[in-house]
């Protein structure tokens, strides 16, 4: 009898999904078994699938051991899991961890660098993938963890960390000399959290969004101006940095036409519209890069402290802007995936699934 399950999406058509029973994975010496407990779904998870090959996101959770062939990919999710079996000292059954998880019932990890804050998965297939994705944080050793804020951490931790690092990089570079920062997909969690961090730091913050999300984005109050994608000609022709979270070629074209050489930087941060934009932008923001820089500058504890302080400042505002919608079980996960993929999720909603 199958004791576990796996959800996967077709790599060539992300709207084609499968949900299969899988055998309970066996745990070898040096390994631990996690039960995936509660996860979130936002456009960021869809981006992992869009960039599954290019950025190797498909490699974190290979389909083959779960009885699926390579036409399928397991889009990584963020959330909490519980250790249910372990052969590793310091990793104990009952321990709750936060980290990068498969859309599946269970995950086998090979804990390494175990300490009070958690461990890293040293499984061979993850060894040369970006290391921040291999860390599992124990709730008991995590200064940012509050039991009553778990859903906020599920949805926002990686996004807010990106926003925090993105804002830090821009400030660290004196805003690249810009007087305006323009963010697309301004209604997205990553964009508005970055805008919160950058608000009042000098440059004007301008959000671009779709007409249906204009009122929500204006209501946030973290942008000085919010315009729709069709209103780019209303932008002041001043030195501008474009932080692209939408990835829409037409928006980039319109900005370049309107601003010319006053567009001093064009940085790809995300691609909610599911068209890769790294080449077109010319510069890509990848949070782990600035994270490594700040880990060197501030030490890991210094970075943790600053992140936790920023997070605790953000949570009270976030409570006004976010409606967490909780689903139950793998079918709810599939529904949430299809909803987010199709852009049907209103920006106020955050999907969390209890598995």
Ligand X SMILES: NC(=O)c1ccc[n+]([C@@H]2O[C@H](COP(=O)([O-])OP(=O)(O)OC[C@H]3O[C@@H](n4cnc5c(N)ncnc54)[C@H](OP(=O)(O)O)[C@@H]3O)[C@@H](O)[C@H]2O)c1
To the nearest whole angstrom, how small is the minimum distance from the Cβ of residue 96 to ligand X?
23
To the nearest whole angstrom, how small is the minimum distance from the Cβ of residue 274 to ligand X?
6
To the nearest whole angstrom, how small is the minimum distance from the Cβ of residue 213 to ligand X?
4
To the nearest whole angstrom, how small is the minimum distance from the Cβ of residue 345 to ligand X?
6
Between 110 and 294, name the residue whose CB sits nearer to ligand X: 294
Between 8 and 248, name the residue whose CB sits nearer to ligand X: 248
Between 2 and 56, name the residue whose CB sits nearer to ligand X: 56
Q: Catalogue the E-assigned strands of the chain.
A: 4-10, 13-22, 32-41, 72-73, 77-86, 96-101, 106-109, 111-115, 118-121, 135-138, 180-183, 204-209, 225-228, 240-244, 263-268, 283-284, 323-328, 349-354
To the nearest whole angstrom, how small is the minimum distance from the Cβ of residue 108 to ligand X?
26
Between 95 and 273, name the residue whose CB sits nearer to ligand X: 273
To the nearest whole angstrom, how small is the minimum distance from the Cβ of residue 287 to ligand X?
4
To the nearest whole angstrom, how small is the minimum distance from the Cβ of residue 323 to ligand X?
12
Residues that bind ligand X (CB under 6 A): 42-44, 47, 158-159, 162, 185-190, 209-210, 213, 245-246, 269-273, 285-287, 342-343, 347
CA dihedral 8, 9, 12, 13 (to 10 degrees): 160
Alpha-carbon separation of residue 184 from 29, 248, 330 (angstroms) = 48, 9, 32
Q: What is the 3-state secondary structure (H, E, C) of 235-283?
A: CCCCCEEEEECCCCHHHHHHHHHHHHHHEEEEEECCCCCCCCCHHHHCE
Between 33 and 186, name the residue whose CB sits nearer to ligand X: 186
Phi-psi region at 260: left, alpha or beta (left = phi > 0; alpha = psi -120 to 50): left
Cβ-closest position to ligand X: 270
Between 275 and 328, name the residue whose CB sits nearer to ligand X: 275
Between 5 and 321, name the residue whose CB sits nearer to ligand X: 321
- The residue among 352, 351, 332 whose CA lies nearest residue 340 is 351
Angle at 123 between CA 132 and CA 4, to 5 degrees: 100
To the nearest whole angstrom, how small is the minimum distance from the Cβ of residue 190 to ligand X?
3
- The residue among 91, 101, 113 whose CA lies nearest residue 32 is 91
Which residues contact residue 348 at a Cβ distance below 8 angstroms, ignoring those fewer than 6 apart? 216, 321, 322, 323
- The residue among 155, 128, 184 whose CA lies nearest residue 351 is 155
Between 52 and 111, name the residue whose CB sits nearer to ligand X: 52
Between 25 and 270, name the residue whose CB sits nearer to ligand X: 270
Length of the chain: 355
As a whole number of angstroms, the distance between CA 325 and CA 345 comes to 10
To the nearest whole angstrom, how small is the minimum distance from the Cβ of residue 163 to ligand X?
8
Residue that is written with structure tokens 């006004």 in the block = 320
- The residue among 257, 248, 267, 287 whose CA lies nearest residue 182 is 267
């Amino acid at each position: 009898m199958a004791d576990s399950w796996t959800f996967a999406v077709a790599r060539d058509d992300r709207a084609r999904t499968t949900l299969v029973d899988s055998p309970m994975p066996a745990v070898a010496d040096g390994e631990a078994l996690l039960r995936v407990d509660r996860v979130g779904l936002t456009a960021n998870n869809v981006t992992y699938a869009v960039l599954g090959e290019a950025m190797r996101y498909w490699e974190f959770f290979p389909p083959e051991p779960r009885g699926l062939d390579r036409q399928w990919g397991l889009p990584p999710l963020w959330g909490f899991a519980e250790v249910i079996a372990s052969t590793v000292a310091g990793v104990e059954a009952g321990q709750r961890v936060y980290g990068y998880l498969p859309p599946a019932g269970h995950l086998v990890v090979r804990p390494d660098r175990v300490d009070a804050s958690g461990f890293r998965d040293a499984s061979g297939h993850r060894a040369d993938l970006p290391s921040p994705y291999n860390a599992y944080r124990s709730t008991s050793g995590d200064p940012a963890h509050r039991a009553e804020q778990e859903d906020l951490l599920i949805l926002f931790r990686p996004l807010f960390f990106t926003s925090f690092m993105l804002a830090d990089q821009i400030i660290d570079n004196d805003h690249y000399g810009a007087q305006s920062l323009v963010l697309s997909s301004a209604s997205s969690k990553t964009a508005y959290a970055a805008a919160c961090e950058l608000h009042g730091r000098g440059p004007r913050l301008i959000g671009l969004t779709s007409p249906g999300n204009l009122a929500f984005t204006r209501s946030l109050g973290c942008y000085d101006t919010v315009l729709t994608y069709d209103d780019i000609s209303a932008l002041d022709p001043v030195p501008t940095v474009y932080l692209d979270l939408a990835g829409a070629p037409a928006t980039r074209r319109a900005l370049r036409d309107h601003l010319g050489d006053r567009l001093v930087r064009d940085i790809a941060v995300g691609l909610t519209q599911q068209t890769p934009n790294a080449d077109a932008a010319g510069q890509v923001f990848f949070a782990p890069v600035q994270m490594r820089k700040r880990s060197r500058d501030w030490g890991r504890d210094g970075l943790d402290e600053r992140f936790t302080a920023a997070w605790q400042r953000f949570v009270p505002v976030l409570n006004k802007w976010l409606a967490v919608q909780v689903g139950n079980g793998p079918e709810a996960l599939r529904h949430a995936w299809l909803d987010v993929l199709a852009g049907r999720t209103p920006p106020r909603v955050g999907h969390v699934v209890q598995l």
